[in-house]
Amino acid sequence: MKIAYRSDVGRIRSINEDTAWSDSYEFGLTVAIVADGMGGHKAGEVASQLAVDTFREALQGVSAALSLEERKLLMSQAILQANEVVFDMASNNEQFHNMGTTVVAALIQDDNGVIGHIGDSRVYKWREGVLTQLTEDHTLVQELVKSGQITLEEAAVHPRRNVITRALGTDEEVEVDIICTSWRAGDLLMLCSDGLTTMASTSAIMETLGQDDLNLDQKADRLVQLALEAGGDDNITVVLLHHAEDTELEG
């Protein structure tokens, strides 16, 4: 497995409220997480860091290959644990009141991956020149699109397109979307905050991922650059996981 990670504060914000982490374990499990914090006055930065740290700690006890069902349960428990920690911090500290974060995470092992998701950070899969969005945004405009009240084109410019309907840490209980996806040689997963997807076009992202003359780190750099060139209105974070043809998954 090859991994590349990039994060940039963007051109407008003074603080980077995104946090990400990725690692591979000896027994063939690869993990990645992206969290996009919210709350202002550094609260978003605290929320996303807390979420990632708690998620990471929840995986520390994993010491052997897991079945698909075990990974689904681990993903759900790790994110719910992070929700509990962030909510507790927000509830007991006035300066962090109402803070929260998105979260999107992946656990990959053998021939499949498990995705956990809350909010509007996303996971895409790139396979044989086709880019597929695996997650569905938990946003007001997505609900309006699903109900047929607005089109996808209208959603992209809707004045309330940044309103999130589900976040980690804002409520005592939260629902985690769990998604399973197949995983084979040549596949690439892209985890990202909305600072990339609201700025860079899908066609530009596809063009970058399809450039064979760029290595994985260069592709991550280029994706961040695309968002910056388009205005960089938000923090930008991207994690790329590549099941490269010349690497073998252990297991």
Fold classification of 2-242 is Phosphatase 2c; domain 1 (3.60.40)
Quickly list H helices, 22-177: 43-58, 68-92, 140-146, 152-156
pLDDT band at 190 (very low <50, low <70, confident <90, very high): very high
50, two tokens: 């807390």
Output the pLDDT for position 248.
44
What pLDDT shows up at residue 178? 98
pLDDT in tens, 44-71: 999 999 999 999 999 987 877 889 999 9
Q: What is the pLDDT of residue 246?
A: 58
Across the range 29-54, mean pLDDT stands at 94
Neighbours of 178 (CB within 10 A): 15
Domain extent listing, the chain: 2-242
Amino acid at 141: V
pLDDT of residue 136: 94
Give residue 73's pLDDT band: very low, low, confident or very high (50, 70, 90): very high
Instruction: Give whole-number Cα distances, 231 to 9, 10, 216, in Å.
Output: 12, 8, 24
**Nearest residue to 237 via CA among 199, 203, 208:** 199
243 class by beta-carbon count within 10 Å (0-12 exposed, 13-18 middle, 19+ buried): buried
Q: The pTM is what?
A: 0.93
As a dihedral over the C-alpha atoms of residue 187, residue 190, residue 134, residue 12, rounded to 10 degrees, the angle is: -160
**CA-to-CA distance for 149 and 40, rounded, in angstroms?**
31
Per-residue pLDDT, averaged over 3-20, amounts to 96
92-96 long-range contacts, CB within 8 A, separation 24+: 95/41, 95/43, 96/39, 96/43, 96/46, 96/47
pLDDT at 27 over 70: yes
pLDDT value at residue 102: 98
Taking the C-alpha atoms of residue 81 and residue 112, their distance in angstroms, rounded to an integer, is 24
Residue identified by tokens 């769990």 is: 178
**What's the confidence (pLDDT) of residue 249?**
39
Q: Is the pLDDT of residue 155 over 80?
A: no
Q: What is the C-alpha radius of gyration for the chain, rounded to an integer number of angstroms?
A: 17
Q: Which residues have CB under 8 Å from 214's CB, separation 6+?
A: 208, 222
Q: How far apart are CA 227 and CA 221, in angstroms?
A: 10
Select the highest-mean-pLDDT range: 138-142, 160-164, 245-249. 138-142
Which is it for the CA torsion 71, 77, 81, 83, positive or negative? positive
CA gap 217, 169 in Å, rounded = 32
Instruction: State residue 131's pLDDT score.
Output: 98
Mean pLDDT of 167-188: 97
pLDDT bracket for residue 98 (50, 70, 90): confident
Task: Identify the pLDDT of residue 251.
Answer: 30
